[in-house]
Structure 1
């Protein structure tokens, strides 16, 4: 086959290279020479279904691969289309290990698939970023006919079914089509079984991925087949789509269908006649229904009891790294026998059928399990689970941070603590009491410190709010501790920062009742650029612009630039008496009672002002004559407060209704890649509600004033959500 016409005929009968039925521990590579160029370490090997299939792939961003969707198709000869979401079969990627006999590089789980329906291509998100490997970049123009291109992969060779080294060879372009281009082996090499998804590239970057081949000369192929013709799926013409996908933030997906889901806590819900036993409502995206979780159903540990308040706090994480988001739920007022309000936390696992339909839930409670929790005594009012955070570290380890603000430390009541759950164990973090094994947070415990009232964490750091901390004799001035996920010799997170308003690098000073640390948030700026921390101080008094009026409990939020390997610095103090910031300061506004932060494009090397978003709850805000109606303000974390600021309250930015007294909008806020979630447990909807406000409605995110979209209202008794809510919207994720 030497003519273009003969190649076109052959291409019509190509077989997909992904279905190879390899042994569990085998590997395969392109029928070329072994690769010695470590610059091609971006080539990854996929193990799909514990040896059921093997494919190749390309690392195109720290947390993303490009490969062939046919690798994941049930019958790729019939169709290469696959559903978005978690892979059907467990899939792992070995990256940066060009010699499979070594331990170089890393192994990551593939947790999300984003297929391109018009071609044999899928982008695969990894469980954690991969660093230290040079990326090929995405070419933005197709190769010319007769151009030479390189292919590297782990498929079989001419004489090996399972070679142990990455192989590569040069191919020649025969014809460029709308979504693919044809090639043949310039030196007699072929794209073989196991090479589907392999990178096809030049110095200009990635041109596409290997899709299928005649496999002439590949081990196991009929000797009569001599054609080395192959088809490459193009990526150059969809470079913008690839870029936007790999830069985007992940979202909650409990059933792994590639559509965003929502969990809403109603901790005051009555269950089986037990008042305030609590429940969690799950709303599956794409119109796939709702479910109700409460203690007593098979998937949730424990029994519903009056006053448990199951659903008081929520967090999400793929805790078992199977591609399905898992839900962490607390019931901080759970009794332990006759001991009231000890608290409990459960992890309810996602699955193809949704939350609680797969793996048995895990439970964390004092006096149970292992680690420090096993040794901990149960005390009245511990409130384990009052606050929650969860995620995955840069070292690919899932974690949960549990606030325990009522914990007694020695004889000091309500000093508070945090439980850090990682791997198969857990540790307590408290202030020093002279007790062996304690003293992981700065300072000495004092009654009412309430360490763990708020917690936040990202891939590198943990933030702990201590709003009851006395500073310089000023009661409840508040403080914050920041720790790293890296563990010290005591196997506990290492303290990096002890922060309060008497620190010389923080504006103002500690005052009685500031409650600095009542709320905390943290968000990564990029893979290697450190984090930004936001600290709410809702009790802060603000001296008005006139210089004479001191407005009590107006509130403020402090933002901190927190690099990974250098000193921190204050970025800004944000409050409502600043130029171009919406509304003004009033006594009792409590700006900063809650804070939330998100990077909407974490894959970008340098996020823009629109990507880094901060939402601030102002639950005491009056709207006209409606005292305590509340509001939510949004800002860019990268600009001055008034440069990109917007506000949400009833009747603005398509939020429905009219402001009502004591609705306290802003007590509950959460952020996703698509929406600002505002919990409204105090009305105006009977039983509570959640408002889902699209980001495009907010000028903190966009300058397009005409981009407003509809606000979705989730509430009991509507759209499949059971009626009978009591405080629906008290927590949302």
Structure 2
């Protein structure tokens, strides 16, 4: 066999004939491309095909786009020793992998180039799902076939590997093959007209074409390599074995349609970050810390500002971890933790605040080459360099992060104490996305409202891929101080390079329930999730939930002060809105669990999730949890409670009441303030209990079924200092979880 030229990406592999005496399942290795004709440059017939470059010129494979963000390819492309095992760990690939999609000629600029950042392997065949760092928007994915290949059926196949004359061709090559027979997970095939699969690009698509429609039936896997460049010239067989995928549609859908998890060490298991902003660090009371619990029992870690790789120093009252968010900001497949330290002093400037992106890595947060991206006013670039830290700015008081529909990471930072000119504590937010690094206040161009003293604009922020909302719960509406208001933005930038404001909401509008009254605190809490109505192709809309915990309600003819309400709004792709529902605990006789009482502060906290963000939204996939931390239970004041609802349908049709001793471990008692810390993921509702009954606080992970009316109640997982590797120390563990 000729030696590869220096700098050439290739895959060393064995042919079927070389493996004749060895069990094939355990010895399958990357060994396929196509000796058929090259696809003409610009030919989009097989545009869903992908070329994978794995490592530094170490391997090359083919793949196929089955979703805007996902490829299917062969697991053996990523196996450490494919000649002995196809085992591939879930999570980030061990070697950097670049995917080129939609280029019949690799020197062209059509299609897209992406990095593979996550692998989800099958255990029963040589198949792996590979997630891309961003969606591919200019190439249509191929649908999976729904029936197995049948004997005698002609299928097409494509790949980027060797041909009869080229070691590393620059074009996609295609050919035809005939099905010999299908087994449970594989199909044996024979190339037609001397076409054969060759060494170099296993994982390429094998396609059924019917009525002009292409369906993915299998992936090229192993071959005799007859006629392939560099193979034994006496070998003339063009047969091979392919991995069936026609029965994998439900598996693929379950993976690509699931919400993204927090995964700081990029191993495919869900991790959780839990803050304790009042914890002492190095004898400094209230310096604050964050504890990480890695999934699959991979240990815990503590992050504080006394670590050499974290900006700043742990100082009394810093409150490191008072706000948290997560996002894969550098798009490497590892979740990054965004930490706000709003009470941090910058030099002699008290409570100026700062924000850090602490980068995930395969061995955990802070173990990679990039550890901390630091933001503070008066340093760095863009708006940060152009602004100055001022006393009481509290930069990082609120955070929201995620990715846009185009897959671009963003970060929104609230600075509610920011002065606008001479107007103290009017508030602002910073928006970061790509090269965009800007500040927005209520007197910015094309932004409604007026900057007023003590508005605290930016005190609350929520976001999804479509929109984001910025709250000012202390905003005066007319003469009603502290009535509260919010603005909703699109991620699209306007003419001055800032996010586009769509509309504002307050309770003086005819389109919003209630009346703006002093102390309502409308927008004191908010949550937003993507929404896909029936009959639409994608989740381009949003549902926004807004808490008004200071709302007074008349219950059975009696005015109940600070009972609280929650309002939900549907935001369309065009940027219009309509109110969807109003939520309260109501009266003892209605169909919503609980009773509205003075001082409950129902809506002080909110969490929401769409458990199936790609699918048409339903009452079972759109969920909301509402905290009422001041709820009294019998004689126990401020025991707290949580109400879980569907975001769709009527409030009482799908609600569930959760208190300590009923849905939440332990027994209720005064001042526990259950509901003060809530966070939803696709599988769990995390309930923080920083104020007891345990000494240092606790965090309970409730399976989503536990907060769904009528569903099975499963075991609750509890994280608590002094157990399972968490140090027996702290003050308010569970203050936040992300």
Alpha-carbon distance between aligned partners in 2 of 1:663 and 1:425, rounded to the nearest angstrom: 42
Is 1:409–1:416's contact at 8 Å kept on the other side of the alignment?
yes
The residue number in structure 2 matching 1:724 is 729
Q: Greater shift after overlay, 164-173 or 333-342?
A: 164-173
Q: Distance in 2 between matches of 1:278 and 1:13?
A: 55
Residue 708 of structure 1 corresponds to 713
Structure 1 distance, partners of 2:330, 2:300, is: 23
Report if the CA contact (8 A) 1:29-1:163 is conserved: no
- Aligned-residue offset at 1:691: 0.9
Higher deviation after alignment, 507-516 or 376-385: 507-516
- 1:255 to 2:265 alignment: yes
Q: Cα distance, 1:59 vs. partner?
A: 1.8
Q: How does 1:17-28 map to 2 (within 5 A)?
A: 18=30
Q: Tell me the CA shift for residue 319 of structure 1.
A: 1.1
Question: Which deviations, in whole Å up to 9, do the C-alpha atoms of 1:82-120 show, x marking residues without a partner?
Answer: 001111122232233334333222233222211111111
Residue 611 and residue 40 in structure 1: after superposition, are their counterparts in 2 closer, same or farther (change >3 A)?
Answer: farther
Partner of 2:384: 373
Identify the residue that residue 632 of structure 1 maps to in structure 2: 642
Picking from 446, 471, 488, the partner of 2:494 is 488
In the alignment, structure 1 residue 465 sits paired with structure 2 residue 475: no
Deviation for aligned residue 1:582: 1.4
The runs of at least 4 consecutive aligned structure 1 residues that moved more than 6 Å come to 5-8, 10-15
2:572 maps to 563
Secondary structure, aligned partner of 1:649: strand
11 and 609 in structure 1: CA distance in 2 versus 1, 3 angstrom threshold: farther
Deviations 1:12-42 (A, max 9, x none): 679856379xxxxxxx766344167635322
| Whole-angstrom distance in 2 between the partners of 1:263 and 1:133 | 36
1:642 match: secondary structure: helix
Look up the match of 2:338. Answer: 328
Q: Greater shift after overlay, 264-273 or 181-190?
A: 181-190
SS at 1:677 equivalent: strand
Paired position in structure 2 for 1:71 = 77
Q: Residue 6 of structure 2 corresponds to which residue in structure 1?
A: none
Quick check: 689-698 or 416-425, which moved more? 416-425
Identify the residue that residue 82 of structure 1 maps to in structure 2.
88
- The aligned residue for residue 24 of structure 1 is none
For residues 510-557 of structure 1, the C-alpha deviation after alignment (integer angstroms, 9 at most, x for no partner) is 22211111112221125443221111111122233x4x3332222122
Structure 1 residues 731 and 12 mapped into 2: Cα distance closer, same or farther (>3 Å)?
closer
Distance 1:508 1:524, change over 3 A: same
Paired position in structure 2 for 1:355: 365
Is the counterpart of residue 303 in structure 1 residue 303 in structure 2? Answer: no
Shift, 1:501, TM fit? 1.8
Counterpart in the other structure of 2:433: 422
**Structural mapping, 1:46-65, within 5 Å:** 46-65=52-71
Matching residue of 1:435? none
| Aligned-partner Cα distance in 1 for 2:311–2:120 | 34
Cα pair 2:342 2:394 within 8 Å, conserved = yes
Show the 5 A alignment for 1:198-217. Answer: 198-202=204-208, 203=210, 205-217=215-227
- 1:346 Cα offset (Å): 0.8
Q: 1:207 offset after TM fit, Å?
A: 1.8
In 2, Cα distance between equivalents of 1:46 and 1:603: 26
1:243 aligns to 2:253 (yes or no): yes
How many residues align? The count is: 709
C-alpha displacement at 1:146, in angstroms?
1.4
- The aligned counterpart of 2:585 is 576
**What SS does the aligned partner of 1:311 have?**
coil
Q: 2:329: which partner in 1?
A: 319
For residues 96 and 447 of structure 1, what CA distance do their matches in structure 2 show? Answer: 54
8 Å contact from structure 2 (residues 428, 440) kept in 1: yes
Q: 1:234 to 1:650 in 2, by over 3 A?
A: same
Cα contact 1:261–1:284 (8 A) shared by 2: yes
Where does the alignment leave 5 or more consecutive residues of structure 1 unmatched? 21-27, 433-437
Conserved? CA contact 1:170–1:186, under 8 Å: yes
Partner of 1:280: 290
Contact preservation (8 Å) 2:31, 2:202: no
Give distance in 1, aligned partners of 2:140 and 2:188: 27
**Cα 1:285–1:318 shift into 2, 3 Å:** same
Counterpart secondary structure, 1:34: coil
Describe the shift of the 1:557–1:13 C-alpha distance in structure 2 as closer, same or farther (beyond 3 A): closer
Normalization by structure 2: what TM-score?
Answer: 0.92
Instruction: Please state if 1:691 is matched with 2:700.
Output: yes
Gaps of 5+ in 2: 1-15, 533-537
- Cα displacement (A) at 1:157: 2.6
Helix, strand or coil at the partner of 2:144: coil
For the structure 1 residues 422 and 182, does the alpha-carbon distance in structure 2 shift closer, same or farther, using more than 3 Å as the test? same
Contact 1:429/1:440 (8 A) holds in 2: no
> Which residue number corresponds to residue 23 of structure 1?
none
CA contact (8 A) 2:34 2:195 kept: no
- Residue 600, structure 1, aligned to residue 611, structure 2: yes
Residue in structure 2 matching 1:656, options 661, 665, 689? 665
CA-based RMSD: 2.3
Deviations 1:611-642 (A, max 9, x none): 12112111121222211111122212222211
Q: Distance in 1 between matches of 2:628 and 2:378?
A: 38
- Cα contact 2:502–2:575 (8 A) shared by 1: no
Structure 2 CA distance for aligned equivalents of residues 620 and 691 of structure 1: 19
Given the alignment, which residue of 460, 474, 477 partners 2:483?
Answer: 477
Correspondent of 1:225 among 230, 235, 241: 235
**Does the 8 Å CA contact 2:17/2:224 hold for their aligned counterparts?**
no
